[in-house]
Amino acid sequence: MASATTVTARPQGLAPEGQPALVADRLYRFYRAGDDETLALQGVSLTLQPGEMLAVVGPSGSGKSTLLSCLAGLDEPAGGTVTIAGHRLSHQPEPVRAGLRAKHIGILLQSRNLLPHLNLTANISLVQSALRRSHPRPAALDLLESVGLADRAQSLPRQLSGGELARAGLAVALANDAQVILADEPTGELDGETEQQVLDLLRQRVAAGTALLVVTHSAEVMAAADRVITLADGKVQA
Ligand SMILES: Nc1ncnc2c1ncn2[C@@H]1O[C@H](COP(=O)(O)OP(=O)(O)OP(=O)(O)O)[C@@H](O)[C@H]1O
């Protein structure tokens, strides 16, 4: 990767001292298809503190992606609550969830959270357009520089390699200077060196006070985490 500068300023609006960045309290989520019912989440509770990196692991189908969607407010749990920086996110109208998400959550999805017809600068601007005027907006070029992509600011996602895409997705996830980052397999298809670069960037954010929850199968990501929890059949294993 090109020389990477560091964007490690403490994210604005961090949760007050002692307040968890994220709390999930007894989350339930069912999927119904005809007569079949899948219990994807069965009473999942977790707490994430500012400056903490939590890895969520578990076999395929154990509920990891469902959990992440509920934590991000992209999906509604059937029961239980999600609280972000003291604000209840679950069981709120979508516009309220969207507002909380825009302000408090950086989302890094397997699909790389990039719109294909927008260049990298425009993808970052799009995330920032949902923010209130007073909310800090890291400059797009600084974000891209921090992930070693300053020279690709005008590129479309399809013009990037897999590793570059992963880093571009990370720049977009950092664009709202959020206090919580939720990441689904952020290093899934990366070679060892690029995985390490992405992990280093994420760890820098955590060191600056951001709370990071990462769904992963990677031993390297697990080793980098402060804590690891395992899901099986929609439940946190003791
Ligand atoms: N939209 C859906 N409709 C019906 N069932 C679903 C739906 N999405 C997920 N499921 C089911 O819910 C369970 C949990 O799925 P989820 O995708 O959360 O697991 P996961 O741990 O993320 O799996 P993977 O590691 O393979 O991505 C699985 O049994 C899955 O088949």
Residue nearest to atom 30 of ligand 1 (CA): 61
The verdict on the CB of residue 60 being under 6 Å from ligand 1 is yes
Q: Is residue 43 part of a domain?
A: no
Domains in the chain: how many in total? 1
The verdict on the CB of residue 40 being under 6 Å from ligand 1 is yes
Helix H, strand E, coil C: the string for the chain is: CCCCCCCCCCCCCCCCCCCCCEEEEEEEEEEEECCEEEEEEEEEEEEECCCCEEEEECCCCCCHHHHHHHHCCCCCCCEEEEEECCEECCCCCHHHHHHHHHHHEEEECCCCCCCCCCCHHHHHHHHHHCCCCCCCCCCHHHHHHHCCCHHHCCCCHHHCCHHHHHHHHHHHHCCCCCCEEEEECCCCCCCHHHHHHHHHHHHHHHHCCCEEEEECCCHHHHHHCCEEEEEECCEECC
Residue nearest to atom 2 of ligand 1 (CA): 31
> 72 CA distance to ligand 1 centroid (A)?
16
Q: In this structure, what CATH number is given to the domain that contains residue 157?
A: 3.40.50.300
Q: What is the pLDDT of residues 174-224, one digit of tens each?
A: 888 889 999 998 887 778 887 888 898 899 989 999 999 999 999 999 999
Q: Is residue 80 part of a domain?
A: no
Q: Is residue 118 part of a domain?
A: yes
Counting ligand 1 atoms within 8 A of each CB, the residue from 35, 62, 75 with the most, and so the one to mutate, is: 62
> 216 CA distance to ligand 1 centroid (A)?
15
Q: Is residue 140 part of a domain?
A: yes
Segments of the chain with pLDDT less than 50: 1-8
Residue nearest to atom 28 of ligand 1 (CA): 61
The verdict on the CB of residue 61 being under 6 Å from ligand 1 is yes
- pLDDT at residue number 2: 42
The verdict on the CB of residue 64 being under 6 Å from ligand 1 is yes
Q: Residue 67 is part of which domain span?
A: 48-74+92-230
The verdict on the CB of residue 216 being under 6 Å from ligand 1 is no
Q: Is residue 202 part of a domain?
A: yes
The verdict on the CB of residue 63 being under 6 Å from ligand 1 is yes
The verdict on the CB of residue 58 being under 6 Å from ligand 1 is yes
The pTM for the full model equals 0.87
- pLDDT at residue number 72: 92
Q: Is residue 106 part of a domain?
A: yes
Q: Is residue 19 part of a domain?
A: no
- pLDDT at residue number 64: 95
Task: Kindly give the number of the ligand 1 atom that is closest to the alpha carbon of 215.
Answer: 22
Q: Is residue 145 part of a domain?
A: yes
